[in-house]
Chain A
Amino acid sequence: MTKNSTILRVAWADPFKRLIRKATLSYKGLFGVMNWQQYLMVNLGSPIMQMLCFTLVANYVYGYTDLSKWLIGNALVMTYFNAVFGVGSQLSAERNSGTLKLLIASPSDRIGIFLPRAILHIFDGLFAVILGFVVGAIFLGFTLPLVTWPAFLLALLVASFSAMAFGLIISCLGLLSRDLNLILNIASMSMLGLTGANFPIERMPVWLQTISHAMPLTRSIELCRALQAGEVLSAHMNLLYGEVLVGMALMFVGVLLFSFMEKIAVKRGALEMF
C-alpha cells in the first residue's frame, strides 16, 4: 500500500470514525449513569407497558379482529420515547451537566455537533419497536408473514429515522428552555393521538388532520399496517418516500433551528443552568 493511498483511506475514514465517536459518547452520556436494570426499565419497560396498555384499550374498543392494527400503531409510537426523551433532551442534559456552553463555544461545525446525536437512537428506537412486536407476538398473538419481514424492517428503520429527526427539533428548544420536561411530555403524549396510532385520523378536526399528516410516523404506521395485511411494499412506495421526506425536512429544519436558537441562547445568556 502506498503512502498516498493510506492518507486517502485515513481522510475518508476519519470523519466517519468521528461521527461514530460523537454518537456513542452522547448516547453514553445520557444512559451511562444507569445500571442495566434501570436502563431496561426506563428505555424498554415503560414504552412496552404503554404499548400494551393502549393496545388493550383498542382491543376493547374496536374488537379482537383489529388488534394487530392497533398494536402496530402503538409499537411504532414507542420510537418517540427515544426521539423525545433521548434525542430531545440532549441539549438540555448538556446544560444540566454544565457542558452546553463548552459545546456551543467549540470550533466544531454545528451539523457535526447536532446530527450525530440521533444516530444511535435510530437503532435503539428500532430495537424497542422490534421488541414490542415480540411482546405482542407472545402475549397478544401478533403475527407477521415471513415474506414481509424485509419490507417491514425497512419501514421501521425509516420510521425511527423520521422520529429522531423530530427529536432533533425538540432538542433545539432545550437551548432556550431551562426545564424541558413539560414540552417533552406534551410532545410525547400528543403522538399517541396525532399519528393515528389509537383512533382513525378522520375523527379529528380537519386542521388537526393536516398536522397529523405532517407528523413523522403517520405514514409509517399506515405502511406497516398495509404490509402486515399482506400488501406489497411496491404498492405503497409513496408512503415510504413520504416518510423519508418528512424525516429529511425535519432534520433540515432542526439544523436551521439549532443555528437560530443558538444565537438567541447566547444573547439571552441561557446556556447556564441558573
Chain B
Amino acid sequence: MISTFNVLTSSAVQQFKTSIGRPMFRFCVIAQPIIFGLLLGMIYLEKSSVDFTLYAVLGSGLSTFWSSICFSSASDIHRERWYGTLETIYAAPAGFKWIVLGKIIGNSIWGFLSICLSVTVVTLFFDKSLVIAQPLWLGIGLSLMTASLIAIGYLFAALFTLSRNARVMMNFMEYPVYILCGILFPLEMLPKAVQVLSYAFSPTWAVKILRFAVAGGEVSQVLPYVYGLISLTLIYGLFSVVMFNRIDVKCRVDATLEVY
C-alpha cells in the first residue's frame, strides 16, 4: 500500500515538473485559459452576472482543464510510445497502471491551476461582479469534477495504450465535449436526443453542480447531480481498471507498444 502510494506520488511529482516543459502543455494550461477567458468574457460581457460567472469564468477554466486532459493525460501514452519508453514503463516492477495514474494526477493538478488562472484573468480584465451563491458547493463541484476528469484521463490512457491513432483522436475530442456537456452554453440549447447522450459524460453533471453553486437553490436540487457524478466517476474508474487488466495481455499479443 505504501509502495503504491510512493509510486503514485513520485510519478505525479515527476509529471508535474516535466509536463510543463512541453510547449503544447504550456499552451493548454497557461495560454488557453487566458485567451479563452478573454474571448468568452467578451462574448458574455452583456449577459447576466450568473451567465458571465458560469460560462465566461468557470466555462473557460473547465474547457482548458478538459483540453489539458485531451492533450496530456490522453496523449502521454502516445508520447511515451514515440519516445520509445512505453515498453520500459510497461515492464517496470512499480506497475504500469500506477505510473500512468500518477502521471494523470500530476497533469490534473496543472489542469486545476489553469481554472484558477482563468478565474483570475477574467476577474481582473472585466468590470463584472462574479456571483457565487454557494461557495461550499463550488468547492465540492470542482473537487468532484477534478476526480472525475482524472478517471476520464485514466480511461483514455487505457484506450490509447492499444491505439496508434491517439494523436488524431485527441485533436478531435476537444470541442464535442464542450458542446455536449454544456460547458460554454446551457445544455438546453441542444436537441432533446442529444441532451440524453450528454449525461453519459461526467462534465455534464459537474457543470450542473457548478450552476447550482453559482445560481443557488435548494440542496435537494443538486443532490441527484452529485450522486450521478460520483456514480459515473466510479464507473469510469472501474472500466479503466478492467481495461488495464485486459491491456496487460492484449499489448503483448498485438505488440502495440512500439511506434512501428
Contacts and interface: CB of A to CB of B under 8 A. Distances in A.
Nearest to A41: B172
Interface residues of A, number: 29
Contacts, number: 84
Interface size class of chain B, counting residues whose CB lies under 8 Å from the partner chain: 20 to 34
A199 interface: yes
Which of B35, B174, B186, B189 has the most CB atoms of chain A within a 10 A radius of its CB?
Answer: B35
Nearest to A59: B189
Contacts of A52: 175, 179
B189 A56 contact: yes
B24 to A, nearest CB: 5
A182 B43 contact: no
Given A56-B189, A60-B186, A46 B36 contact: no
Given A34-B168, A41-B172, A179 B23 contact: yes
B27 A198 contact: no
Interface in A1-40: 34, 38
B15 interface: no
A193 B42 contact: yes
B172 A199 contact: no
A53 B184 contact: yes
Interface in A171-215: 179, 181-182, 185-186, 189-190, 192-193, 198-199, 203-204
Contacts of B239: none
A50 B32 CA distance: 15
A190 B23 CA distance: 17
Contacts of A242: none
Contacts of A41: 168-169, 171-172
Contacts of A203: 42, 45
Interface in A26-76: 34, 38, 41-42, 45-46, 49-50, 52-53, 56-61
B98 interface: no
B173 to A, nearest CB: 9
A217 to B, nearest CB: 15
A222 to B, nearest CB: 17
B165 A182 contact: no
Contacts of B96: none
Given A57-B185, A181-B23, A189-B35, A46 B174 contact: yes
Interface string B174-206: 111011000011100110000000000000000
Contact of A60 (B26, B35, B171, B189): B189
B47 interface: yes
Given A192-B39, A193-B39, A199-B45, A186 B174 contact: no
A38 B39 CA distance: 29
Given A193-B39, A198-B43, A204-B42, A49 B165 contact: no
B27 A182 contact: yes
Contacts of B171: 41-42, 46
Nearest to B188: A60
Nearest to A194: B39
Interface of B: 23-24, 26-27, 31-32, 35-36, 38-40, 42-47, 55, 165, 168-169, 171-172, 174-176, 178-179, 184-186, 189-190
21 contacts: A38-B165, A38-B168, A42-B168, A49-B172, A49-B174, A49-B176, A52-B175, A56-B179, A57-B184, A58-B43, A61-B43, A61-B47, A182-B23, A182-B31, A186-B27, A189-B32, A190-B35, A192-B39, A193-B42, A199-B43, A203-B42
